[in-house]
Amino acid sequence: MAKAIYAIKIWMFAKQFKLTKAEDNALRDVAIFVSSLYVKAWFQAPLSTSASATDLQFLKDLSKYKSVNEKV
């Protein structure tokens, strides 16, 4: 999660760095993935009683996310 947070910070402050277009696109992809899918799963992880349902929902969301970005 720490790497994801750093990637989001770098993307947010990209104007202060010299990034190539490929780096900017990759950081944007990570930021979108983390903010739209991963954070929800991260916060639901400590709930052991609903772990199987949470994992299944995360896998379903991942398969839907392929239509947004196949690389991820």
Check residue 14 and give its pLDDT: 82
Q: How many residues does the chain have?
A: 72
Alpha-carbon separation of residue 21 from 14, 18, 48, 56 (angstroms): 11, 10, 41, 35
Check residue 8 and give its pLDDT: 84
Check residue 65 and give its pLDDT: 87
Q: How far is CA 16 from the centre of its chain?
A: 22
- Ordered by start, the domain boundaries in the chain are 2-65
Is 68 within 8 Å of 28 (Cβ atoms)?
Answer: no
What is the rounded distance in angstroms from the CA atom of residue 41 to the CA atom of residue 6?
Answer: 18
Is 29 within 8 Å of 19 (Cβ atoms)?
Answer: no
pLDDT band, very low/low/confident/very high, at 62 (cuts 50, 70, 90): confident
The chain-wide mean pLDDT, for the chain, equals 85
For the cut 80, the answer to whether the pLDDT of residue 58 exceeds it is yes
